[in-house]
Amino acid sequence: MPAKPSRHLSKTNLLNARSQNLLKALINCYVEEGVPVGSKTLAESAGLKISTATIRNVMAGLDSMGLVSAPHTSAGRVPTNLGFRMYVDSMLEFSPIESAIEGRLKEQLNADQDKDTLINIANNLLSDITQMAGVITLPKSGQLNLRRIEFLPLPDKKILAILVVNERDVQNRIIHVDKDHTQDELVKISNYLNQHFMGQDIFQIRALLMKELHSARSQVDKLMAAAVDLADQALKPDEEGEAYRLQGQANLIRFNSEADNASQLQQLFQIFQNKRDMLGLLDRCIQADDMQVFIGSEAGIDGLEEFSVISAPYGGKENTLGVLAVIGPTRMEYSKVISAVDITARFLSLALGAAE
């Protein structure tokens, strides 16, 4: 069972049992059906032997507290983001995760894979299980020690550099060169680099090679010059600094009718593309060091008013490596999504710990 997400201030203590039961029933109906809930439907769902007039009076009270609203005069009511917040803080009931889902996570998140692969698998699984967008931050790179480097020729004066760093992590980089190199030349270059620099930090290797090239340029043969050039490109840091990965954005298109209009979804995709606001939110999740649920405007990002973000950290107890999260409409099955995020983070943490 997942731990309860961090609580926010709520008005639960201002509601009597009847009001709480009706608010919970209304949210469950709305999550399932996606349309305003009328008094008759609510009475049947709540299982309370009370009149529709009494239900309307209770709804009026909840409306005055900002927990529900009526989109149209003649329509039923829908929960507001504040109503969802109260529901998440005090009304959620968690059930054990489905055995099939747990088995799938156990099977695919195993320690026989490198860190980058495990991170991709976890994000793909979470998006697929929840049918929403998955996002995962990447561990901040510490020292990257070279274990092996190989080069493979590609068409159009390109070379594929394959780096193995820190025992298991594999990185592939495309290098652009001025002239084509034969496979034999590339093997000699990779052998030279592996023989002289295996186990050293890749950024220090690059600096050493560049220093050597500049200090003794006239004495360096063509193969050595080529080795320095290829190593310079293969070992340079990623200027963009990929910080997180997204998966399953297309899943959100099916919720398009529940946003005010298509512009809500367009705004969300714009947030994904610009990255700065999303990075700020994910950084807050990392700093919190426990499960977080942001509903609508709680995220503090313009354009997320109709969406919720549920995150959990992954890594060791003393060493949080990053967070994984789900982004979806505020009308989601919070108990199931929270459980999915929690168990995926735990299995990813176990796999990464065993892989080290």
Mean confidence (pLDDT) of the chain:
84
Give the chain's domains with CATH numbers.
Answer: 12-90 (1.10.10.10), 99-138+243-355 (3.30.450.40), 146-234 (3.30.390)
* CB hemisphere CA count around 124 (13 angstroms): 9
How far apart (Å, rounded) are the C-alpha atoms in residues 69 and 280? 31
pLDDT band with cut points at 50, 70 and 90 for residue 171: confident
> CA–CA distance from 307 to each of 106, 129, 202, 299 (Å)?
29, 18, 41, 9
pLDDT band with cut points at 50, 70 and 90 for residue 234: confident
Bridge partners (DSSP) of residue 311 are: 292, 325
Work out the average pLDDT over 310-315.
Answer: 94
Query: Nearest Cα to 80, choosing from 342, 295, 316?
Result: 295
Instruction: For residue 34, give the 3-state DSSP assignment.
Output: coil
> Phi and psi at residue 268, in whole multiples of 5°?
-65, -45
Instruction: For residue 250, give the 3-state DSSP assignment.
Output: helix
Query: Nearest Cα to 306, choosing from 271, 351, 342?
Result: 271
Residue 332 has pLDDT above 90, yes or no: yes
> CA–CA distance from 58 to each of 25, 226, 325 (Å)?
13, 78, 35
| 37-68: pLDDT as tens digits | 998 888 888 777 888 889 999 999 999 999 99
Q: What pLDDT, on a 0 to 100 scale, did the predictor assign at position 259?
A: 45
Q: What pLDDT, on a 0 to 100 scale, did the predictor assign at position 330?
A: 94
Query: Nearest Cα to 165, choosing from 133, 129, 137, 206?
Result: 206
Residue 255 has pLDDT above 80, yes or no: no
pLDDT band with cut points at 50, 70 and 90 for residue 335: very high
Work out the average pLDDT over 169-195.
Answer: 87
